Amino acid sequence: MLKVKVLTIGKCREAWLASALAEYEKRMQGHVRIEWAIAKNSDQLLEWAAQEPFLIPLDPKGELLDSETFSRKLLRLFEEKGSRLCFAIGGAEGLPKALLNRFAFHWSLSPLTFTHQMTRLILVEQIYRAFEIEKGSGYHK
């Protein structure tokens, strides 16, 4: 079983988001488990992040990848990091500089600004898509 931990801020308020996330988590059941660590503010996020030896910060100014490149990168990282990966999504002000500075690779989903709720959904859908690309299923087409 592969594990993905997502550090983020603020509760999931929208019912549609909870339902969309549940759909993708269900599709990955038995294969990938998503653990949501929802901090109450940036300080708590920073504290939790300090306990992670490796983390992928999501940042609009980070590196843009296409889904095929992300798929290869994700699979390689799962191998390198012992089947466990951690992502961090910032709140309204983005991620603290102190966190960004610790890691060389920052991933940008898009130069567009998304709500952090939509960012969660895009992240989970891209993780699901990454495995479908590897399997060669028709999903990603």
In terms of CB distance, is 1 or 66 closer to a second copy? 66
Q: Is 74 left (phi over 0), alpha (psi -120 to 50) or beta?
A: alpha
The residue to which tokens 């989970």 are assigned = 124
Given the complex with a second copy, which of 6 and 133 has the nearer CB atom? 133
Out of 13, 66, 97, 136, name the contact with a second copy by CB under 8 A: 66
Is residue 10 at the binding interface for a second copy, with CB under 8 A as the rule? Answer: no
Is 137 a binding residue for a second copy by CB under 8 A? The answer is: no
60 binds a second copy (CB under 8 A): yes
Give the burial class of 123: count Cβ atoms within 10 A of its Cβ; 0-12 exposed, 13-18 middle, 19 or more buried: buried
Going by the DSSP 8-state scheme, the letter that residue 40 receives in this structure is S
Helices of type H across the chain? 15-27, 42-50, 67-80, 97-100, 116-135
The answer to the question of residue 36 lying near a second copy (CB under 8 A) is no
Among 9, 39, 89, 109, contact with a second copy (rule: CB under 8 A): 109
The reply to whether 122 sits near a second copy by the rule CB under 8 A is yes
17 binds a second copy per the rule CB under 8 A: yes
Binding piece for a second copy, criterion CB under 8 A, among 46-54, 65-73, 79-87, 96-104: 65-73
Nearest CA to 108 out of 59, 48, 51, 35 is that of 59
